[in-house]
Amino acid sequence: MHNFDFVKPSTIAEAVSALSHEGAQALSGGQTLIPTMKQRLAAPGTLVSLTGIAEMQGVCLGDGGLHIGAATPHAVVAREAKAHYPALASLAAGIGDPAVRNRGTIGGSLANNDPAACYPSAVLASGATIVTNTRTIGADDYFQGMFTTALHDGEIITSVVFPIPEKAAYVKFDQPASRFALTGVFVAKYAGGVRVAVTGASQDGVFRWREAEAALTANFSPAAVSGLTVDSRHMIADLHGTPAYRANLVKVLTGRAVAAAS
């Protein structure tokens, strides 16, 4: 690891100011950034920690649904979202290992937008709103491909607002080595319709499976997706699965998520 400066602001304004300097990089839980720095693949001049900002912490009900501070660790979401949004809490409880869950944060995960991360599927399937220091961004506009988001340089996610569905479930199929999602499907049923978001499978990152959404909006049962086919053309090919295999998982896991939705 190269040397770097470290600042830990206590307000969003201080953080924004610190990030405006050249070479500054936001640090949340550090579960991706720190290993990358240790491998000398990243060498930011200044790390601006976002975990000391009180208004970016915590889980509470509010306008529009469940508000989760962006610097809230997964373990806290797993614990505190359980009563309000059990599928989301269950997703958080299944990320990584205890160390990752107690350091890694929802904002960090969403800013990074790893194509195999769990949280993006929940955000997209819930039609959640990403709140930043300057604006709000709808989930459908936020994810713009693998490791790519609508965030501008220096923009900080401060919270995420999840509309609470009638029913939802997340089913993840583990990549055997990393235990990231080889494919993960989040299904959420709202009064206005069903949303299905898939992570881990596509070269374009998290995506909505709209054919399944239409079928499930008409008939919320596993049988509704059993006749659908998933286009494998943009699926990821790697050591752990072919595009065809991932396409199969999308369908199988969607059916299982519908069956598990509560």
Partner 1 sequence: MPKDGGIGASTKRREDVRFLTGKGRYTDDINIRGQLYAHFIRSQVAHGTIRKIDTRDAEAMPGVVKVFTSADFTGVGGIPTGWQVTSRDGQPMLEPKHPVLAEGKVRHVGDPIAVVVAETLEQARDAAEAVEIDIDELPAVMDMKAAIQGGPLVHDEIGSNLCYDWGFVEENKAAVDEAFRNAAHVTTLELVNNRLVANPMEPRVAVGDYEDHSGQHTLYTTSQNPHVIRLLMGAFVLSIPEHKLRVVAPDVGGGFGSKIYHYAEEAFVTKAAQILKRPVKWTSSRSEAFMSDAQGRDHVTRVELALDADHNFTALRCETYANMGAYLSTFAPCIPTWLHGTLLAGNYKTPLVYTNVKAVFTNTVPVDAYRGAGRPEATFQLERVIDKAARELGVSPVELRRKNFIQPDQFPYQTPVAVVYDTGNYQATLDKLLELSDHAGFEARAAESKARGKLRGFGLAHYIEACGIAPSNLVGQLGARAGLYESATVRVNATGSITVFTGSHSHGQGHETTFAQVISEMIGIDASQVEIVHGDTSNTPMGMGTYGSRSLAVGGSAMVKATNKIINKAKKIAAHLMEASEADIELKDGKFTVAGTDKEKSWVDITLAAYVPHNYPLESMEPGLEETAFYDPSNFTYPAGAYGCEVEVDPETGKVTICSFTAADDFGNVVNPMIVEGQVHGGLAQGIGQAMLENCVFDENGQLLSGSFMDYAMPRADDVPFYSVDHSCATPCTHNPLGVKGCGEAGAIGSPPAVVNAVIDALHRGGFTHVTHIDMPVSPSRVWQAMQG
* Contact residues for partner 1, defined by CB under 8 A: 1-2, 39-40, 173, 176-178, 182, 238-242, 244-245, 248-249, 252
> With respect to partner 1, which residue has the nearer C-beta, 31 or 57?
31
Shortest CA distance to 110 belongs to which of 50, 44, 194? Answer: 50
> With respect to partner 1, which residue has the nearer C-beta, 40 or 233?
40
> With respect to partner 1, which residue has the nearer C-beta, 218 or 244?
244
> With respect to partner 1, which residue has the nearer C-beta, 157 or 235?
235
Report the interhelical angle of 119-126 vs 86-93 (nearest 10°): 170
**Min dist. Cβ of residue 241 to partner 1 (A):** 4
Residue 8: CB atoms within 10 A of its CB come to 15
Phi and psi (nearest 5°) for 168?
A: -165, 160
> With respect to partner 1, which residue has the nearer C-beta, 69 or 205?
205
> With respect to partner 1, which residue has the nearer C-beta, 32 or 90?
32
End-to-end Cα, the chain, rounded Å: 45
- Could you tell me the two tokens for 173? 């199929």
**Min dist. Cβ of residue 41 to partner 1 (A):** 11
Cβ burial 19-57 (10 Å sphere, 16+ → b, else e): beeeebebbbbbbbbeeebeeeebebebbbbbbebeebb
What CA–CA distances, in Å, run from 29 to 86, 89, 110, 117, 235?
A: 23, 18, 12, 14, 29
**Min dist. Cβ of residue 31 to partner 1 (A):** 12
Q: Are strands 24-27 and 46-49 parallel, antiparallel or unpaired?
A: parallel
> DSSP 3-state assignment of 167?
strand
